[in-house]
Amino acid sequence: AQSVTQLGSHVSVSEGALVLLRCNYSSSVPPYLFWYVQYPNQGLQLLLKYTSAATLVEGINGFEAEFKKSETSFHLTKPSAHMSDAAEYFCAVSGGSGNTPLVFGKGTRLSVIA
């Protein structure tokens, strides 16, 4: 079984500041891990994914995440926040390769202050 915990339902940062969104996972098998972003009234868009290759994963819009097995973490970072980054972010885990359902965290709403 898999589960995801996202620490902080709401994170607020100033424009230009570091963005750090936390995600910890639990999985009984080697996990695949994902970050999705959801803008208001839109569907989920994949930011990046970890599928057992490089532990540091680069995604779209300047985001990256590092898989740390020892900490069971997959935190999302971006060096400099932009106003357009304001959205809901979801971390998700699946049970590895093949078609397996995603298990999502509850999400973190990111606000960016000018």
Partner 1 sequence: GAGVSQTPSNKVTEKGKYVELRCDPISGHTALYWYRQSLGQGPEFLIYFQGTGAADDSGLPNDRFFAVRPEGSVSTLKIQRTERGDSAVYLCASSTRDSPDTQYFGPGTRLTVL
Does 97 interact with partner 1 (rule: CB under 8 A)? yes
Tell me the site size for partner 1, rule CB under 8 A: 26
Query: Within the chain, what is the greatest distance between any pair of CA atoms?
Result: 42
Tell me which of 28, 53, 98, 114 binds partner 1, using CB under 8 A: 98
Return the beta strands (E) in the chain as ranges.
2-7, 10-14, 19-27, 32-38, 44-50, 56-58, 64-68, 73-78, 87-94, 103-104, 108-113
Pairing mode of beta strands 73-78, 64-68: antiparallel
For position 2 contacting partner 1 by CB under 8 A, the verdict is no
Q: Assess 11 for contact with partner 1 (CB under 8 A).
A: no
**111 in contact with partner 1 (CB under 8 A):** no
Q: Interface with partner 1 by CB under 8 A: which residues?
A: 4, 9, 32, 36, 41-46, 49, 51, 90, 92, 94, 97-107
